[in-house]
Structures are given as C-alpha cells and as structure tokens.
Amino acid sequence: GQSIAVFTSGGDACGMNGAVRACVRMAVYLGCQAFMIREGYQGMVQGGDQFVKATWASVSSIIHVGGTIIGSARCKEFMEREGRKKAAYNLVQREINRLIVIGGDGSLTGANIFRIEWTGLLDDLVASGKITPQQREKCKDLHIVGVVGSIDNDFCGTDLTIGTDSALHRITEAIDSIASTAYSHQRIFIMEVMGRHCGYLAMVSGIISEADYVFCPEAPPPLDWHERLCSKLQKERECGQRLNIIIIAEGANDLNGEPITAQMVKQVIFDRLGWDSRITVLGHVQRGGATSAYDRILACRMGAEATVAVLESTATTTPVVIVLVNNQIERIPLMGAVERTQAVNKALQDKDWAKAIALRGVA
Ligand code: ATP
C-alpha cells in the first residue's frame, strides 16, 4: 500500500492529537503505512527516529490529551531550499510522498512551496547520487493536504479550526471562577484573551460572560471609546450591577491601528472614574487542559477526511485543506484559503477593517 505521513506544526492546539489519531487510523484501515513525524518540519529535516511508524495501537489514548504528543516546532531550515531538500531525502528514503500537515497558515504555505519544488528537489537528489532514479519515479509527485489547528479560529474558509472550542472552554471556566469571587466585592475585571488577528475568542467570550465591553482587532471601537466605556460602566453601577467584565483580544487596536491594552483600559477607568480594576491575562491557560468533546469530534472528522483526500490526490489534483462548512466536512483549495487568510491579516495592517471582515466572511 501507499505510505502517508502526518505531522503537527506551528502553535499547538487541543485536538491536534485527535486529528493525528484519525489520520493514522484511517490510513491503517485503508491498508496503508502511516508515519508520524515528530517536531514538525524540524523532524522532517532531521530524519532518523523523528519518523515514527504508526500502528492502530500507537495512537491509542491520546484523543483527550491537549497539545500535540508528537511535538511541534518552528523550523528555520525548512524556510530554505537546502533544508527542504534534506526533508525530501528523508521522505523518499521511506517512500513517502503523501503528507498531512496540521498547523496554521504558515505551515500550510510551507507545504505548498515544498510541493511545487518537489520535482526539482528530487532531480537534485538523483544528480548528486543520494537517491536512485527508481526512487524518484516511485515518489514522483508530492501530495499534500492541510488540516487547520489554531486556537484563534483565524483561518478563512472554515467555520471553526481545531482547538478553538477547547480554548473557549478554558476561557469560560476562568471567567466563571473570577466572576463568582468578584461578585462579592463590586469589581471590574479586564480579561485579555488570545487572538492576534482574530477577535473570535474575544467576541464569543464577551457574549457568554455578559461582558460590558469587548475589544477586537477587526472591529476597533469609536475613537471616543474612553468616554463610552466609562459612561457604560457608570450606568451599570447605577443599575446595581456588582460585576463588570471587559474582554480584550491580545491584538486589539483603535481606529488608528494603535494597540489597546488591558493596562490602558485600567488606566482610563481609574483616571475618569477613580475606580480600581483587576487585569487577568489568560495566556497559555487557554492552550492547555483537556480537549473538549467538540474538538475531539471535529479532529476525528477532519483527520479521517484528510487521509482519504491525500490518498485520492493525483498529479493533477489541486491541494486541499479540510474545513467545516455548515457542519459538513469539506475540501477546499488550500492556497485559496491561505491567501484569503493572509489578505485578512494584511487588511488589518492597512487598517481596512471593513475589508478584513468581508474577506473573513463572518458577520
Ligand atoms: P500559527 O498560526 O500557530 O503561527 P503557523 O503554521 O502559521 O501556525 P508558522 O510559524 O508561520 O506557524 O510556521 C511554522 C513553520 O512552517 C515554520 O517554522 C517553517 O518551518 C514553516 N513555514 C512557514 N512559512 C513557510 C514558508 N513560507 N516557506 C517554507 N516553510 C515555511
């Protein structure tokens, strides 16, 4: 049968293990040899025991575990052609030319560059005597499929990315525990959540915690937000509200593109109202912990589909990324989705908020 390899790359997310498990098990079920590559592209460039032959049993009991047990890394070497040549050598040695990459837009872009260069890399390896023409023939084309693992939900073309739901569970738990103690004292809590380019976590946490104000990267507040925020807080107090919650995405900014930080908001409240507030930066708490039921299911569905897609891929197939649309698992062109995602980030940099929101396609 065919050989496929799966690896995780970029920032880790809950559900990545479930996706690896599903990829491996679908491959085994279909009579293929599955490999797991440790430490992302770093392991692919290093070779040796970074390549692990996987069986049905080797991915048992990992579906619930957060992070990624096969490791993830950023790899400078893979950014260069020489590094990618080493990676190609390590794959061809094992007769692997079908890859499933679980990561963010950077990792998916890297895979596509690798795919486009593949034939040239193999020609180089034959010319330098590292592989035989027969080996090249066996691994003629590189087939890639992407699965998006990212807690920020910052990828275009999918309703959700793997890891977002678990991160929301962590944020909910944190807000609930803070709210219950805060309630006794009449307090203002400012919570910073993740999301450099995407306010999804902030927006959803804002709704579920009945927050008074939410700061998102793609929807900057009016320039007089200081005044609006403080008069809102004051009104709430007058109505007898004992607890106020303000949510800030780590990438929040104003209409001029200047960052809005938790510290700034705290200062504004103190200067205008003389009220003290507490800042909680959730940070890595959002990444860790148990994987939610929804992320486990999403990972199973996406991983299984990724293996089927990578095995069905032919020399003329456009590479795909596995996405969730209207609760259906679908394949869409990988680079189209990556480019749209990168265009959103560019629009945010250019302070074209309307364009960013329109491109992302989320109301
Ligand atoms: P996250 O959203 O968590 O940042 P990501 O996949 O976007 O995830 P990156 O750090 O951008 O994370 O990419 C991970 C790795 O993918 C890089 O360290 C590098 O090895 C590889 N990679 C990224 N972009 C490219 C590229 N343009 N060419 C080759 N390899 C790349």
324-345 as b/e, with b when 16 or more CB fall inside 10 Å?
beeeebebbebbebbebbbebb
Q: Which atom of ligand 1 is nearest to the CA of 77?
A: 20
**ipTM score assigned to the predicted complex:** 0.97
Q: How far apart are CA 311 and CA 157, in angstroms?
A: 22
pTM: 0.95
Q: Which atom of ligand 1 is nearest to the CA of 114?
A: 29
Rounded distance from Cα 299 to ligand 1 centre (Å) = 21
Q: Does any ligand 1 atom lie closer than 6 A to the CB of residue 11?
A: yes
Torsion of CA 164, 169, 171, 174, to 10 degrees: -160
Looking at residue 258, its amino acid is E
Q: How far apart are CA 63 and CA 49, in angstroms?
A: 23
Report the interhelical angle of 262-273 vs 225-238 (nearest 10°).
Answer: 60
Q: Find out whether 126 and 136 touch, Cβ atoms under 8 Å.
A: yes
pLDDT for the residue numbered 1 = 81
Q: How far apart are CA 42 and CA 320, in angstroms?
A: 23
What amino acid positions are annotated as catalytic residues?
152
pLDDT for the residue numbered 363 = 34
Q: Does any ligand 1 atom lie closer than 6 A to the CB of residue 9?
A: yes
Q: Find out whether 15 and 163 touch, Cβ atoms under 8 Å.
A: yes
Q: How far apart are CA 203 and CA 197, in angstroms?
A: 13
Beta carbons within 10 angstroms of residue 94's beta carbon:
16
Question: In Å, how far are 125, 141, 347 from 259, measured between CA atoms?
Answer: 48, 45, 16
Q: How far apart are CA 220 and CA 301, in angstroms?
A: 35
Q: Does any ligand 1 atom lie closer than 6 A to the CB of residue 74?
A: yes
Q: Does any ligand 1 atom lie closer than 6 A to the CB of residue 78?
A: yes
Give the residue whose CA is nearest to atom 30 of ligand 1.
Answer: 110
pLDDT for the residue numbered 241 = 87
Torsion of CA 239, 243, 249, 255, to 10 degrees: 30
Rounded distance from Cα 230 to ligand 1 centre (Å) = 41
Q: What is the DSSP string of 177-229?
A: HHHHHHTTT-EEEEEEE--SS--HHHHHHHHHTT-SEEE-SSSPPPTTHHHHH
Q: Does any ligand 1 atom lie closer than 6 A to the CB of residue 163?
A: no
Q: Are strands 213-215 and 243-249 parallel, antiparallel or unpaired?
A: parallel
| Predicted confidence (pLDDT) per residue in 85-97, tens digit | 999 999 999 999 9
Give the residue whose CA is nearest to atom 22 of ligand 1.
Answer: 110
Give the residue whose CA is nearest to atom 2 of ligand 1.
Answer: 104
Query: 360 is written with which tokens?
Result: 């992302």
Rounded distance from Cα 104 to ligand 1 centre (Å) = 7
- Residue with the two structure tokens 């400078």: 76
Q: Does any ligand 1 atom lie closer than 6 A to the CB of residue 248?
A: no
Q: For residue 170, give the nearest of 15, 19, 302, 283 by alpha carbon.
A: 283
Rounded distance from Cα 161 to ligand 1 centre (Å) = 16
Q: Find out whether 3 and 96 touch, Cβ atoms under 8 Å.
A: yes
Tens digit of each residue's pLDDT, the chain (363 residues): 899 999 999 999 999 999 999 999 999 999 999 999 999 999 999 999 999 999 999 999 999 999 999 999 999 999 999 999 999 999 999 999 999 999 999 999 999 999 999 999 999 999 999 999 999 999 999 999 999 999 999 999 999 999 999 999 999 999 998 888 777 777 899 999 999 999 999 999 999 999 999 999 999 999 999 999 999 999 999 998 888 999 999 999 999 999 999 999 999 999 999 999 999 999 999 988 899 999 999 999 999 999 999 999 999 999 999 999 999 999 999 999 999 999 999 999 999 999 999 998 753
Rounded distance from Cα 111 to ligand 1 centre (Å) = 9
Give the residue whose CA is nearest to atom 20 of ligand 1.
Answer: 75
Q: Find out whether 337 and 156 touch, Cβ atoms under 8 Å.
A: yes
